[in-house]
Amino acid sequence: MELIRLEGVSKTYADEAGPVLKNTDLVVEGGGYLSVEGVSGSGKSTLLYILGGLLTPTTGRVLYKGKDVYSLKDRELSLWRGRHVGYLFQDIQMAQALTVRENMVLARRFGNDKGADIEGLIQSLGLEEVADKLPGHLSGGQKRRAMTGCVLVRRPQIMLADEPTNDLDREWACRVMDLLQEQIHPERSLILVTHDPRWAASASVKYSISDGVLIHKE
Partner 1 sequence: MWSTFLMFAWKNMTRRIKTTGPLFLCVLVSVFAIVLVWSSYDMAKGGVELSRTRMSADVMVYPYETELDDASMLYSGIAQSVYMDADIIGRLSNGYAERVVSQFYLQTLPTAGCCTVMEEMRLVGVDWEEDLTVRSYLKGADIDTLDMQEVILGGNIDIETENTMILNMPVRVAGVLETTGTYLDDSIVLSMEQLRQLAKVNFPASYFGGRAPMDLVTCALVELKEGVDPQEYIRSVEDVQARKVLISSTADTVQDEIMVLFRLLAGTAAVILLLCVAALFSQMQALIHSRYREIGYLRSIGVCRRDVYKMFVLEIGIIVLAAGVLASAAGLTAARSVIEWIRQYMSLPLGGWSGGAILVHFGGGLLLTVSVSAVSAAVPLCRAVRMPPQEAMTRGEL
Residues that bind Mg ion (CB under 5 A): 45, 90
- Is residue 91 near partner 1 by the rule CB under 8 A? yes
| Interaction pattern, residues 33-62, with ligand ATP; x per rule: CB under 6 A | -----x-xxxxxxx----------------
Residue 3 DSSP SS3 = strand
- Which residues within the stretch 40-59 sit at the binding site for partner 1 (CB under 8 A)? 49, 52, 54-56
The DSSP secondary-structure symbol of 198 reads H
Binding partner at 16 among partner 1, Mg ion, ligand ATP, none, C-beta below 5 to 8 Å by kind: ligand ATP
Cα(58)–Cα(69) distance, integer angstroms: 14
CB of 48 to partner 1, least distance (A): 10
| Interaction pattern, residues 75-114, with ligand ATP; x per rule: CB under 6 A | ---------------x------------------------
Give the DSSP H/E element, type plus range, for residue 158: strand 158-162
Judge whether 5 and 62 are in contact, CB under 8 Å: yes
Considering the complex, state which of residue 58 and residue 112 has its C-beta at the smaller distance from ligand ATP. Answer: 58
**Could you give the C-alpha distances from 37 to 8, 47, 68, 127, in angstroms and in order?**
20, 12, 26, 30
- Is residue 15 near ligand ATP by the rule CB under 6 A? yes
Q: Where are the alpha helices (DSSP H) in the chain?
A: 44-51, 74-84, 100-110, 118-124, 140-152, 170-182, 197-202
Percent helix, strand and coil across the chain, each to the nearest 5: 35, 25, 35
Binding partner at 41 among partner 1, ligand ATP, Mg ion, none, C-beta below 5 to 8 Å by kind: ligand ATP
Cα(42)–Cα(160) distance, integer angstroms: 17
- Is residue 172 near partner 1 by the rule CB under 8 A? no
Cα(52)–Cα(61) distance, integer angstroms: 13
- Is residue 132 near partner 1 by the rule CB under 8 A? no
Considering the complex, state which of residue 105 and residue 174 has its C-beta at the smaller distance from partner 1. Answer: 105
Considering the complex, state which of residue 45 and residue 165 has its C-beta at the smaller distance from Mg ion. Answer: 45
Contacting positions for ligand ATP (CB under 6 A): 13, 15-16, 20, 38, 40-46, 90
